[in-house]
């Protein structure tokens, strides 16, 4: 079958505008072939080239004393001592999950796991951050069901514990859900593998599952807005097989032990195209491919289809030719394909041959290095006016009941019970309790993981919202007694060609950057997902922050729960800020005013104070949405105790001031801690105690079991 003629319509279908196509003509001095057009469109789309975000991503702090590898590789790597490192990354699979929820979410899990074990690490933990539309929207329930089943189906079968994450519902996600997947793995520092090709004339080897037509054009689809023709994009969603992925991981890690691997790269977005180009680009080499040798599962596949297929469970490597036999035996043992499909060359070329014809001959460096880079116009978000104090006609107990009955703040048990969080037997802290914690096997160390963002804050004030996302991730790690190490980000926004959307992106980047610098949590990996809009309606700006912390001695971990007769201590002072709060959003459907200010110096001081007094603390809960009221209730629930708190006004209970923690400890320890806090210039005050079975806020009280039932059932009931 002859390739279609290059036309304006065909160019537009490939996501290229007129100026970008002219750049192609200038670059290669002729009209591209159909396969070349596909390759260029894949490499130059937003998802692969970051053409709208590169300028601002370069401003993020990416180095630190523990950072081994920052952005630019498959995942970031941070040293955790004793010759070990943690490899981690977060990545989106938003558009595929909306089109085909189960497979979209499942292959998102598969992709992020490959990013980790491609670098030589064995995955030890996974998380996800999920954003859906209103539950009343006709698609939401099926999306939630499909996405959660897809994450669980893939992760459980693969065998990695899912130890936490977040879930939200908002009308802005009605036409565009967000599925952000996180994975982390352990590796010995002397056994890390990178993707840069090296050596001329080295074999380029295809590994893993066969190539099909699923996912062709997936990266281009992920870089465009949705419209009424969304169902036509269904064939661009990949299909995953977790059992093949498990075999691929074991085969890859075994292969690495043979010494046969010079460089290795997983096939993700844009498939064979992106993996080959990135390997060549990083190694300053050219690549020549012969597609006749690519293992396929469908007949008569064209060069275009093979180059752009996003079939899952595939890798590309540069092989030490002296160890070809040993390498092939490993993959044959695991019943996976092993095929030499090309070689490295000295020239700066990317050549693709099929059936004796050259289908593409392009300057390799130009495919990534000279991809369009835009300095998008942006308009800074105007700070909203502060609101006037509100007179509340509800009791604090009624207000808490409102939060607990919302699917945004009720228990996520219905979700995480579908995930295996105990596989590998190293999970210490189950989902639903803040940061997840996984033991570093055969050591006294553990790693803590968390993910956070408050999109309402980010829309109202992107700079403060970006700061707060990092700060709350920091507090989550502190709350289990871990030392925050580093972060990964997943930056989800609308159409960057709109100045107001680009303004949100720039503001959030600036806030994230400042917080990462002050709190000592560099960004070591990440992902940008733009064009999250449907019919012109953008999502809330959602720059998700994933963070990793280290517990050097498990004996000093804050495990909880609170003990009966424990004193409740508030670190960071009282609250009163209700603008953009959970209470105002859920009870009054108001999203007005400024988010709370995040004092980063105070965050650091208060966080260090908690870490310096671990021996005094029985339980700890950082405060964010829902303030003292929601935080104290969750501590009481975990302890199966009541809690009594002093009589205060509604803003005191539900204010969302930052840099704050609730601590539970014995009376003597509480007095000692308050004295130490006074000397350290930290605001610490006793506000209550744990005992009995009642939740008491001043003169108002309710049985904890009554609130427990509301909390545990609200999400599941809403989804019925």
On whether the CB atoms of residues 595 and 457 are closer than 8 A, the answer is yes
Q: DSSP for 30-88?
A: SPPPHHHHHHHHHHHSHHHH-TTTHHHHTTS----TTEEE-BTBSSEEEEEETTEEEEE
Rounded Cα distance, 473 and 521, in Å: 10
Query: In a 3-state reduction of DSSP, which class is residue 254?
Result: helix
Task: Based on the residue annotation, tell me whether 47 is a catalytic residue of this protein.
Answer: yes
Task: Based on the residue annotation, tell me whether 625 is a catalytic residue of this protein.
Answer: no
On whether the CB atoms of residues 318 and 205 are closer than 8 A, the answer is yes
Q: Which residues are CB-contacts of 154 (< 8 A; sequence separation ≥ 6)?
A: 105, 106, 107, 109, 110, 240, 242, 245
The one catalytic residue among 47, 354, 421, 577: 47
Please choose, from the candidates 2, 720, 609, the residue with its C-alpha nearest in 3D space to the C-alpha of residue 357.
2
Rounded Cα distance, 226 and 478, in Å: 40
Q: Which residues are CB-contacts of 263 (< 8 A; sequence separation ≥ 6)?
A: 193, 194, 195, 196, 197, 198, 279, 282, 283, 317, 318
Hunting for tokens 């949590």 — which residue is that? Answer: 521
Query: In a 3-state reduction of DSSP, which class is residue 499?
Result: helix
Measured between alpha carbons, how far is residue 77 from residues 51, 64, 266, 524 in Å? 25, 11, 17, 7
Q: Which residues are CB-contacts of 5 (< 8 A; sequence separation ≥ 6)?
A: none
Rounded Cα distance, 378 and 149, in Å: 39
The one catalytic residue among 14, 93, 421, 625: 93
On whether the CB atoms of residues 284 and 346 are closer than 8 A, the answer is no
Rounded Cα distance, 416 and 555, in Å: 27
On whether the CB atoms of residues 205 and 144 are closer than 8 A, the answer is no
**Alpha carbon 80 to chain centroid, angstroms:** 21
Catalytically active residues, by annotation: 47, 93
């Amino acid at each position: 079958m002859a390739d279609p003629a290059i036309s304006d319509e065909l160019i537009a279908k490939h996501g290229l505008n007129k100026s970008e196509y002219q750049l192609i003509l200038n670059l290669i001095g002729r009209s591209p072939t159909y396969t070349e057009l596909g390759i260029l469109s894949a490499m130059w789309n937003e998802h692969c080239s970051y053409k709208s975000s590169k300028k601002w991503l370069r401003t993020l702090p990416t180095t630190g004393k523990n950072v081994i590898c920052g952005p630019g590789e498959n995942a970031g790597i941070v040293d955790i001592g004793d010759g070990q490192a943690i490899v981690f990354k977060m990545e989106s699979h938003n558009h595929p999950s909306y089109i085909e929820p189960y497979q979209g979410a499942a292959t998102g899990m598969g992709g992020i796991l490959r990013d980790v074990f491609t670098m030589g690490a064995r995955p030890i933990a996974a998380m996800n951050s999920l954003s859906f539309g209103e539950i009343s929207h006709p698609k939401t329930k099926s999306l939630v069901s499909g996405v959660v089943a897809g994450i669980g189906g893939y992760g459980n079968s693969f065998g990695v514990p899912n130890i936490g994450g977040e879930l939200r519902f908002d009308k802005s996600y009605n036409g565009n859900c967000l599925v952000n997947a996180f994975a982390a793995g352990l590796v010995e520092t002397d056994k890390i593998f990178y993707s840069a090709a090296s050596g001329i004339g080295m074999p380029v080897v295809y590994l893993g599952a066969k190539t099909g037509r699923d996912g062709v054009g997936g990266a281009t689809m992920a870089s465009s807005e949705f419209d009424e023709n969304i169902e036509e994009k269904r064939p661009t969603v990949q299909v995953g097989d977790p059992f093949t992925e498990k075999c691929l991981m074991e085969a890859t890690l075994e292969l690495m032990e043979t010494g046969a691997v010079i460089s290795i790269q997983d096939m993700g977005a844009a498939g064979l195209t992106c993996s080959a180009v990135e390997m060549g680009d990083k190694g300053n080499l050219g690549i020549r491919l012969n597609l006749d040798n690519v293992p396929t599962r469908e007949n008569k596949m064209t060069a275009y289809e093979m180059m752009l297929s996003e079939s899952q469970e595939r890798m590309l490597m540069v092989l030490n030719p002296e160890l070809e036999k040993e390498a092939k035996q490993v993959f044959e043992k695991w019943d996976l394909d092993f095929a030499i499909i090309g070689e490295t060359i000295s020239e700066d070329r990317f050549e693709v041959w099929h059936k004796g014809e050259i289908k593409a001959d392009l300057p390799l460096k130009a495919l990534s290095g000279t991809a369009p880079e835009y300095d998008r116009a942006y308009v800074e978000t105007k700070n909203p006016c502060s609101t006037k104090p509100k007179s509340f006609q509800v009791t604090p107990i009624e207000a808490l009941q409102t939060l607990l009955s919302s699917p945004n703040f009720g228990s996520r048990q219905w979700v995480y019970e579908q995930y295996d969080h105990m596989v590998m037997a190293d999970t210490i802290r189950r989902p639903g309790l803040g940061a997840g914690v996984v033991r570093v096997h055969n050591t006294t160390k553990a790693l803590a993981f968390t993910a956070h963002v408050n999109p309402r804050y980010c829309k109202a004030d992107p700079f403060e919202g970006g700061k707060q996302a990092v700060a709350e991730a920091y507090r989550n790690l502190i709350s289990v007694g871990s030392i925050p190490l580093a972060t990964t980000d997943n930056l989800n926004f609308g159409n960057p060609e709109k100045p107001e959307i680009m303004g949100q992106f720039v503001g959030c980047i600036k806030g994230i950057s400042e917080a990462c610098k002050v709190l000592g949590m560099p960004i070591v990996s990440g992902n940008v997902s733009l064009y999250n809009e449907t019919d012109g309606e953008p999502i809330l700006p959602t720059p998700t922050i994933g963070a990793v912390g280290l517990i050097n001695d498990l004996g000093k971990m804050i495990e909880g729960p609170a003990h009966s007769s424990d004193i409740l201590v508030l670190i960071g002072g009282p609250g009163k800020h209700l603008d953009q709060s959970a209470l105002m959003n859920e009870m009054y459907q108001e999203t007005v005013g400024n988010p709370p200010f995040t004092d980063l110096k105070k965050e650091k001081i208060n966080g260090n104070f908690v870490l310096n007094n671990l021996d005094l603390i029985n339980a700890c809960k950082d405060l964010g949405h829902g303030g003292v009221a929601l935080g104290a209730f969750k501590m009481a629930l975990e302890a199966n105790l009541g809690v009594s708190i002093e009589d205060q006004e509604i803003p005191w209970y539900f204010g969302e001031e930052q840099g704050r923690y609730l601590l539970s400890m014995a009376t003597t320890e509480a007095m000692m801690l308050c004295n130490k806090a006074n000397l350290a210039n930290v605001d610490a005050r006793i506000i209550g105690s744990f005992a009995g079975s009642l939740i008491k806020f001043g003169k108002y009280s309710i049985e904890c079991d009554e609130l427990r039932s509301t909390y545990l059932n609200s999400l599941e009931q809403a989804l019925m």
